[in-house]
Structure 1
Amino acid sequence: MIVLSLWAGLLSGLCWLLGDILLVGFEVDKESYDSFTEQSRIGNKKLAMLMLSGSVGRLRLGALVANFSIPLMLVSLYALFGLTNKGLWAYLSIALLGIGFALSPVAHVAFYYVGIISKKAYKQSGGLVCSDEDSGLINEAVLFLDITWRTAIALTGLGWLVYSLLIVTGQTILPAYLGLLTPLPLSLLTILLVEKLRIGRPYLNGAGLNIGFSLFYLLLLLHIGS
């Protein structure tokens, strides 16, 4: 059952990675869209411009493919817990991860709504300055995204930090070095490679956590298989 649970985690991670690529895998095109945001009351101008070049169909698929795979991500918690000594800190890490996973879909889908609202506002403005009314709607969608996304990321990140410490301190059956290869450090490394070395851009923009997630489950499967 642990192996099947890990496969569920890997599949979910790949679905979320695909979702990130489809939904936020763009570069901000300031030359094309700066006139839309420059003199507007839009707070997060970069985010408002980010998805303007993507089709609604692409953004929708990016939101849905991740959303519908979240049960697989929750199933993967069975394996993560089964690999621990089932102590108090193990329960805490799984609880944090479970809550973070459960909150992730609404945060991910919030990007979709920011994208389609911005696209509609851009069309209505004819590419000129966004109206105050549409700017307010975009700002509200971004606020909702910020609240849900930051909460989900904070809880998930804290959960992975605790789980990393469990591995490093010998409270799992895994070798200690895998504690340095959990989604938290792997995602930070991925973000560094994408942002600074521009590897995989624009498609991997915003995909750091789910790259780390997928790689970690793959490493666990390879370790158990060996």
Structure 2
Amino acid sequence: MNYSTKIKWSYLSAIIASVLWVIGDILIVGFNTNPTDYPLLFETYAEQLDTSLAVLMVEGSSQRLMVGALIASMSAFLFLPGIWLSFQFFKQKTKPHAWLTYFLLIISVVLMPLGHAVFYFNGEVFKAILHTDVSAHPYLIEVTSDFTKVLYITWGTAIIVLLTGWLLYSIMVFLGKTTLPRWAGFISPVFLTLYQLPIKLMLPDSLLKAWISAAGFNLSYLIFFVLLFILFKKSLFEKKEERLVDVT
């Protein structure tokens, strides 16, 4: 497989991964829930449960939550060609700043699946409280507490590493360490996610707002790779041609 073909397939892989993760996010936490419909969770046990998590998933059927967890977790590897693609823009790939950024972004992909999938298990336990006898609730609340800890550890770690990696990537672009124009640092997934904040603040509570909130970062991934493809695909091919000329 030649270099240009690798580039094209890497773009396609990253875009497909982004779409699948947007779908997965919407399926697993894309709900506009009214807490007053679930007084047992949001009133009776409000002091014992993480209601900010419960509101995200309590309305989802088991099948929907399961598909949402699996469709994303099982496709995370498709982001790896996109990470490789982003790495290709570095001017000096052997420098510490280049491989450190590359390493962090690869680790973020490795951490993403578990952090995402754990939402499913939390959602199912929240729902179980609604469909079991009150005698089982103390145990289920205890299990929920443990599952919530696992979620924050896995998902939180993945998000921290991911944000750190892409912020570092933006900094490298700003510093001229890549072949991208310096302004391109502002279209990295980190900045694209920040641009969504005022949009979400302006939108009224609705299913659309819930979907954007649920899939915010993966929407940023999708936009980033589409922009990278539209604006800078040729620059990678030209860079390769320049290297071939230098060799000859």
TM-score when normalising by structure 2:
0.84
Q: 1:49 to 1:34 in 2, by over 3 A?
A: farther
Matched, 1:43 2:49: yes
Asked whether 1:88 is paired with 2:96, we answer yes
Gap regions ≥5 residues in structure 1: none
Matched with 1:59 is 65
- Is structure 2 residue 184 aligned with structure 1 residue 178? yes
Larger radius of gyration: 2
Task: Report if the CA contact (8 A) 2:175-2:182 is conserved.
Answer: yes
Asked if the contact 1:15/1:69 (under 8 Å) is kept, the reply is yes
Code of the residue aligned with 1:23 in structure 2: it is I
- The aligned amino acid for 1:68 is M
Query: Which residue in the other structure is 2:151 paired with?
Result: 145
Instruction: Select the residue among 109, 129, 135 that pairs with 1:101.
Output: 109
CA pair 164-129 structure 1, distance change in 2 beyond 3 A:
farther
In the other structure, the counterpart of 1:77 is 83
Q: Distance in 1 between matches of 2:135 and 2:175?
A: 56
> How far has the Cα of 1:101 moved from its partner?
1.0
Q: In structure 2, which of residues 122, 127, 151 is the aligned counterpart of residue 119 of structure 1?
A: 127
1:4 aligned partner:
9
Give how far 1:109 is off: 0.3
Which letter does structure 1 place at the counterpart of 2:17? S
Deviation, 1:130, is 7.8
Instruction: Work out which of the residue numbers 162, 169, 174 in structure 2 matches 1:163.
Output: 169
Farther-moved stretch of structure 1 (45-54 vs 103-112): 45-54
For residues 81-132 of structure 1, give each alpha carbon's deviation from its aligned partner in whole angstroms, at most 9, with x where no partner exists: 111121211111111111111001000001011111111221114xx79822
What is the alpha-carbon distance in structure 2 between the residues aligned to residue 7 and residue 171 of structure 1? 25
Higher RCO, 1 or 2 (CA under 8 Å, sep at least 6)?
1
Instruction: Tell me, yes or no, if the aligned pair for 2:77 and 2:109 is still in contact at 8 Å.
Output: no
Deviations 1:170-224 (A, max 9, x none): 1111111110010001012224322443483222222111111110000000013
Give 1:204's aligned residue: 212
Secondary structure in 2 matching 1:92: helix
- The structure with the largest helix share of the pair is 2
RMSD: 1.9
- Which residue does 1:24 correspond to in 2? 29
| Structure 2 gap segments, 5+ residues each | 1-5, 235-248
- Tell me the percent identity: 30
